[in-house]
Structure 1
Amino acid sequence: MSNDADIRIHVACKNILGEGPLWDVEEQRLYWIDSFGNQISRCTADGTEIESWDVPAKIGSMALRRNSGAVLSLQTGFHVFDFKTGECALIHDPEVHLPGTRLNDGKVDRHGRFVAGSMDMDEAGPNGALYRLDPDLSVHVLESGIICSNGPCWSPDGKTFYFTDTWSKEISAYDYGLLTGTLTNKRRFASFEEIGGAPDGATVDAEGFVWSAAVYSGQIVRFAPDGSIDRIIKMPVLNATSVNFGGPKLDVLYVTSMARPPLPRFPEDGPMAGHLFAIHGLGVRGLPEPRFLG
């Protein structure tokens, strides 16, 4: 089921924990983060004009705002960020009482709400939760009892939400309330028991297929809307972490990776670990990522 793919190093960045590739169609720029390097970076479609910004804590994810700047999920809560000044201002820390957790992966839904989850930093206990940050900057709990939140994304019509607690070794699907941003009817979408590794960052393409990084196994997996495996791409690194389609035609799959695993029990990687990759020639296009309306 594996197939050849045109995989290229897009930026040789050696991120400690690269995550969250995000192509913005308005700017025609690719953003990504180094979670443990406390940094946001940006480049062009060809991997040039690289810019970077430091943030004051470990960063789990980011989304661009409607007008300017970004919304961030940091270890210390939700923040707004100004790229011009570098200023980072707290919105709300929903887990200020939990020193062993941090906010992690997040994305924006079709109505401009930012959905991001948290994780136990030892990746051991169900101490995390899934949150929705609305445009009015109010924060709402969608689910609790999560070890490591990852891979939030939506079907093309926005009615199905995909999400993984990484150490459940499966991706869940939910019915998503378009007007309310609420979750119902949780069910198993896909299992990683036979694939190996664990589900990390994910995205949905224009055909409604789900792409997931199987971290620690060196694979990118494409799932059909019914949860069956459609395609597996073998990466040149074990620790690929997240995926997003971009480029002028939205037909390049960008893949982040980590140079150093967050905990000693996770496998080390080879000389290309931490680089940002681009996979060309897949014959598939992605969908534009919405901006946060707050």
Structure 2
Amino acid sequence: MNAELIVDARNATGESPVWVAQENALYWVDIPGGRLHRWQLDGSTRSWQADEMLACIARTAEGKWIGAQQSGIFQLAPHADGRLTANKLAGVEHAIDNMRFNDGRCDRQGRFWAGTLHMDMGAETVGALYRLDAQRDGVLAAQLESLLVPNGLAFSPDGKVMYLSDSHPARQQIWAFDYDIDSGMPHNQRSFVDMNNHPGRPDGAAVDAEGCYWICAIDAGQVLRFTPQGKLDRVLALPVKKPTMCAFGGPGLDTLFVTSIRPQGIDLSDQPLAGGVFALNPGVRGLAETPAKVV
């Protein structure tokens, strides 16, 4: 189960990997760089530059992109000259200055969810979770509040359970919610995994076809698989300390792709591949992401 480096991307914060079967391609973002990247099975790569930080992305059924940036959720358009232009779908009124979006994805019905955080990582419970179709006068309405670093968003195969983590060192929790697939509302929040009992902090996640939850353990250089009952049953190691998010892809949806962080200002001799994108063989198949339905 050795991790294979597919792109030595050197991303400051690689995030939000999304497999696009029609192109045999993996897309992901580098958040602070504001860049959208693509890698195809033939080894070719492309990148596009946005005008804001770009935190997370989702593909529509029409082959277009939406993404959460600093000031809201946008429809994104990659251009041949390398530009990534943005048309705002909904804005956000952050609780305080110096905030941005972070982790996000679609539920099984195609509703786009994304969370916000305060960028200095102080213990400010001003983060919130938003849903694209929940807005008033073009401004997103928070669905869950009092978060620090919302992450690990994922949905069970039937869409009836929503998972959410908080990566902040003061929290390090993963929660499960009952999810109303008709209204798109989570309720009955409960502890799923206390990551204080495991190596690393909980970052981005994915759910496999068996309903198990895969979470990147940032700072521990691992991806952990938990059963729907919250039991740890598999650990995959990476050659970097800060994996950020995982996604299933490949022609058989049996490859686990993982993005990572390249820390700035420290000695990386023990992890020269930090910021790269990796492929692992998890031994199970994943689920195709539901296309985003833009409302």
- Report the TM-score, using the length of structure 2 for normalisation: 0.91
Q: Within 1, Cα distance between the matches of 2:125 and 2:216?
A: 22
Structure 2 counterpart of 1:8, one-letter code: E
Matched, 1:248 2:217: no
Tell whether the 8 Å contact from 1:113 to 1:135 is kept in structure 2 after alignment. no
- Separation in 2 of the partners of 1:218 and 1:97? 32
Which of 112, 115, 118 aligns to 2:116? It is 118
**Mapped partners of 1:157, 1:60: distance in 2:** 26
Unpaired segments ≥5 residues, structure 2? none
Q: Give the AA of the match of 2:46.
A: E
> What is the aligned partner in structure 2 of residue 101 from structure 1?
99
* Counterpart contact for 1:243–1:254, Cα < 8 Å: yes
Q: Which stretch shows the higher mean deviation, 246-255 or 75-84?
A: 75-84
Aligned CA distance change for structure 1 residues 97 and 143 (closer, same or farther; 3 Å):
closer
Structure 1 vs Structure 2 CA RMSD: 2.0
Q: Is the 8 A contact 1:170 1:192 kept in 2?
A: yes
CA offset at residue 138 of structure 1?
7.2
Query: How far off its partner does 1:82 sit?
Result: 1.0
Preserved CA contact (<8 Å) 1:206 1:287: yes
- Find the partner of 1:193 among 176, 193, 196: 196
- Number of equivalenced pairs: 285
Distance 1:29 1:91, change over 3 A: same
Q: Map of 1:1-294 to 2, 5 A cutoff?
A: 5-46=1-42, 48-84=43-79, 86-96=84-94, 98-124=96-122, 125-134=124-133, 139-167=140-168, 168-260=171-263, 270-280=271-281, 282-294=282-294
Measure how far apart 1:97 and its partner are. Answer: 5.7
How far did residue 28 of structure 1 move? Answer: 2.5
SS at match of 1:193: helix
Alpha-carbon deviation of 1:135? 9.4
Alpha-carbon distance between aligned partners in 2 of 1:139 and 1:24, rounded to the nearest angstrom: 27
Letter in 2 for 1:38: G
Matched position secondary structure for 1:26: helix
Q: Deviations over 1:57-113 (max 9, x none)?
A: 111101112213211110121111012473211222212563221111100111111
- Give ranges in structure 1 of 5+ residues lacking alignment: none
1:252–1:279 CA contact under 8 A, matched in 2? yes
Identity %: 36
CA displacement at 1:38 relative to structure 2? 0.9
Post-superposition CA distance 1:228-268 (Å, at most 9, x none):
1011112111011110010000000001011126xx8x996
C-alpha deviations, 1:254-287, integer Å up to 9, x for none?
A: 01011126xx8x996621100100002x220000
Q: 1:119 to 1:267 in 2, by over 3 A?
A: farther
| SS of alignment partner, residue 13 of structure 1 | coil
Equivalent residues of 1:135, 1:293 under 8 A apart: no
Conserved? CA contact 2:134–2:141, under 8 Å: no
Structure 1 residues 134-182: Cα deviation after superposition (integer angstroms, max 9, x where no partner): 2997734210011111111100000000011112211100011101000
Aligned partners of 2:267 and 2:16: how far apart in 1?
21
- Residues 93 and 50 (structure 1 numbering): CA distance in 2 closer, same or farther, change over 3 Å? same
